[in-house]
Amino acid sequence: MKTITHFCVDIEGAINRLQRSNKKYSEFDDENGNPVPRKAAILNLKYELNKGRKVLPMSKNCVGFDYQTGCPGHERIEDAQAQESIDIRTGKRMSEE
């Protein structure tokens, strides 16, 4: 049985990276798909870190996600039920189906 593993965001790593950046916007999108300003993203990530979390899910389909260790891995369903895929370069979901 094949398993798939979703990508996750390392919170501390993302904060460090965003703090070194001088871009206006982060690579994160809000729930409406709009880019989150870099400084707001840093605050949000610090808030998550303060909750004791280490990683954040990049997929809404990640069932059983663990905020310490990330995606638990999922059995791949080979037939019609298509899996979400993520563009590694942008971190964006390529399909909702």
- Chain residues that interact with Zn ion, rule: CB under 5 A: 6, 62, 71
At closest approach, how far in Å is the CB of 87 from Zn ion? 16
At closest approach, how far in Å is the CB of 19 from Zn ion? 28
**How far apart, in Å, are the Cα atoms of 90 and each of 2, 12, 77?**
25, 19, 25
- Residue placing its CB nearer to Zn ion in the complex, 7 or 25: 7
Task: Give ∠ CA 52-54-21 in degrees, rounded to 5.
Answer: 115
- Residue placing its CB nearer to Zn ion in the complex, 14 or 71: 71
**How far apart, in Å, are the Cα atoms of 20 and each of 5, 16, 91?**
29, 6, 19
- Residue placing its CB nearer to Zn ion in the complex, 11 or 62: 62
Task: Indicate the helix (H) or strand (E) that contains 42.
Answer: helix 38-50
At closest approach, how far in Å is the CB of 62 from Zn ion? 3
- Residue placing its CB nearer to Zn ion in the complex, 28 or 65: 65
| The pair of three-digit structure tokens given for residue 3, joined into one six-digit string | 């398993």
At closest approach, how far in Å is the CB of 64 from Zn ion? 7
